Amino acid sequence: MTEQSETRPDGPSGDNAAGAAPEQQQDHFPLGAHVRDVEEALTKLGASDPELAGTLARLLGAVASEAGRTPRFARALSKAFAPPEPRTAPRPAERPRRSSRRAPGVIDPFAVFAEGDETALRSRLGELSLEQLRDIISEHGMDHDRLAMKWKAPERVIDRIVERVQSRTAKGSAFRGRPEHATPRHGEAGDPTADASLR
């Protein structure tokens, strides 16, 4: 069968291999064993599908010929068929880091204080969780001593918020314009000296 003749790879015949030196047979024994395995597999395939067996034989021959001619191609093949490197043990799962950026406060303590008073502000703050109170502390920069964000008692955090709101509100009112009083200038109506001069 012609296809079977194509499937025989180029190489030493069985007689030549038998006549080779024992050292040469020992050196090429693994390769010879692989070649014989491929030849037997192609021969069996040729019995049922000669066309496919011939195609595979030509493909293997072309790949082997190109690898023998081009070292770079041979290295690429060796790398492609090399067993995968052993995987290193996976690192223990790291705990997700909490983002340093907190959510905005659910209420504006300054607005609540402005609309009501300290009692109203404390009432609204008392409805919030510790984390929500900390959000307010963070948003309005009330942790100047870096202690409030560490407190576990909500009451202490509420006290800090109220204290900062009152302090900033008082400072803000001090910088607001003073009540305007009608201060008559010299010579204007209401000025005694002006009235005297007109008499």
Question: For residue 53, what are the contacts with CB-CB under 8 A and spacing of at least 6?
Answer: 3, 4, 7, 42, 43, 45, 46
Return the pLDDT at 182. Answer: 43
Q: Where are the alpha helices (DSSP H) in the chain?
A: 2-7, 14-19, 22-27, 29-48, 50-69, 71-81, 109-115, 118-125, 130-139, 154-175, 192-198
33-53: average pLDDT: 86
Q: Name the DSSP letter for residue 161.
A: H
**Which tens digits make up the pLDDT trace of 139-186?**
999 999 999 999 999 999 999 999 999 999 988 776 555 444 444 444
Cα distances (Å, whole numbers) of residue 31 to 26, 35, 38, 66, 181: 10, 6, 11, 18, 110
CA–CA dist 199, 183 (Å, integer): 22
Confidence category of residue 113, pLDDT binned at 50, 70, 90:
very high
CA 185 to chain centre: 70
Alpha-carbon gap, residue 50 to 37, rounded angstroms? 17
CA nearest to 148, candidates 139, 163, 160, 130: 160
Centroid of chain to Cα 108? 33
pLDDT per residue as tens digits for the range 47-65 = 998 898 889 889 888 888 8
pLDDT band for position 84 (cuts 50, 70, 90): confident
Quote the pTM value. Answer: 0.40
